[in-house]
Amino acid sequence: MTGSVGIVSYGLYVPRGIVTAAALAHQFHLPVEVVRKKQGFDRKHVSAPGTMPSDMALRASRIALERARERGIDRSDIGLVVYCGSQWKDYHIWLMSTFLQDRLRIPRAFAFDVSAMCAGIVFGLYAAKNFLIADPNLRAILLVGASKESYIVSPRAPMSQWMDNFADAGVAVVVARDRSENLVLASDFLSDGSLSLAPVEAGGGARHPVYPAYARAGQVYAETLLPEAVFRRRMDAVSLPNFVRVIRNSVAQSGLSPTDLRLVLLNHMKRSFHHAILEEVGVPADRAVYLDQYGHSQSADQILALDLVLSAGTFVEGPVVMAAAGSGYVWGSTVVRWG
């Protein structure tokens, strides 16, 4: 289909390490039922200490590239490598994308990193589509994300405890022009800079350079620099309407209505908020995936959820919404006509 842009393949790497709800409840001094019922997960996947974000990104990328080759897109067709995962990478001032480009042997591609936080893949699909439309010399793009953010949440940093569902994973997606399947349709995004300090990982920046005493003092965890009452009041006011707005806009711009949606893929979040979004959009709960066995793996969530239903055979084709919120704070939604 000339001029169309579609997902050719994807790859996932989910580490074998598990932290159960019971273990997490003990660590954070919470009732286990709060973790299971309210926060909404029975377990999450965590990587070994020596496993780097780049390791998980490479594993996912190799799977995606091999699957793309089977569908007619070779490594030599990749003209752009974009890292759109967690900004807590192997190194602080460092391009993950160029490292991946070298290790994956894609020497003729251009590579860069972009950050939309946990909305990374949602934004990456939008960006990839527009790059392919704008540049006739591009045939295919590799989007890559990774998260090791389970390591930057700790009871030692009280304002990080609401992020205790953070988990680890790697994700990669190959997107190409002139496709007839898995078409990337419309997207919508918005941001709220009043929440730009919620949360941050302060160590390593110009304001708080890393040095041994600083790290030993336990300041390497994510934290919310806004007063807690301000943060929670603002989030309660804007997050649900912002999610609903970007989903509705992306669906309408795709020429669809919420009743047309076959699948809604959201970041992992507390169970009540997940259901509130679906209710406001007007999508039944059985058309969504809740990642209670995985937690929140940053930009991998939507592809992980898609893989679960495709592998189970409970979803085959139809319009899919991938929607996410990312700290900073951003909201985004991209529609894909799968199949």
Examine the pLDDT at 209 and tell me if it is beyond 50. yes
d(CA 320, CA 264): 6
* DSSP code per residue over 258-305: GGG-SEEEE----HHHHHHHHHHHT--GGGB---TTT-B-GGGHHHHH
Query: Are the C-beta atoms of residues 175 and 322 closer than 8 Å to each other?
Result: no
Q: Within 10 Å of residue 56's Cβ, how many Cβ atoms?
A: 28
Query: Are the C-beta atoms of residues 162 and 228 closer than 8 Å to each other?
Result: no
For residue 216, what are the contacts with CB-CB under 8 A and spacing of at least 6? none
Please give the residue that has the higher pLDDT: either 317 or 231: 317
d(CA 46, CA 295): 10
Please give the residue that has the higher pLDDT: either 237 or 106: 106
The DSSP call for residue 105 is: T
pLDDT in tens, 157-166: 666 677 889 9
Query: Are the C-beta atoms of residues 173 and 125 closer than 8 Å to each other?
Result: yes
CATH of domain 185-338: 3.40.47.10
Confidence band for 154, pLDDT divided at 50, 70 and 90:
confident
d(CA 59, CA 55): 6
User: Tokens 């997490």 sit at which residue?
Assistant: 24
Query: Are the C-beta atoms of residues 38 and 271 closer than 8 Å to each other?
Result: yes
pLDDT in tens, 74-123: 999 999 999 999 999 999 889 999 999 999 999 999 999 999 999 999 99
| Boundaries of every domain in the chain | 5-180, 185-338
pLDDT in tens, 242-261: 999 999 999 999 999 999 99
% of the chain with per-residue pLDDT over 90: 76
| Intrachain domains 5-180 and 185-338 with the same fold | yes
Alpha-helical regions (H) of the chain: 21-28, 32-33, 53-70, 96-103, 120-134, 212-216, 228-253, 271-281, 301-312
Q: Residue 200: its pLDDT value, please? A: 77
The CATH T-level fold of domain 5-180 is Peroxisomal Thiolase; Chain A, domain 1 (3.40.47)
> What mean pLDDT do residues 154-175 have?
84
pLDDT in tens, 6-53: 999 999 999 999 999 999 889 888 899 989 988 899 999 999 999 999
pTM: 0.93
Preceding omega of 136 cis (within 30 degrees of 0): no
Structure tokens given for 102: 């070298």
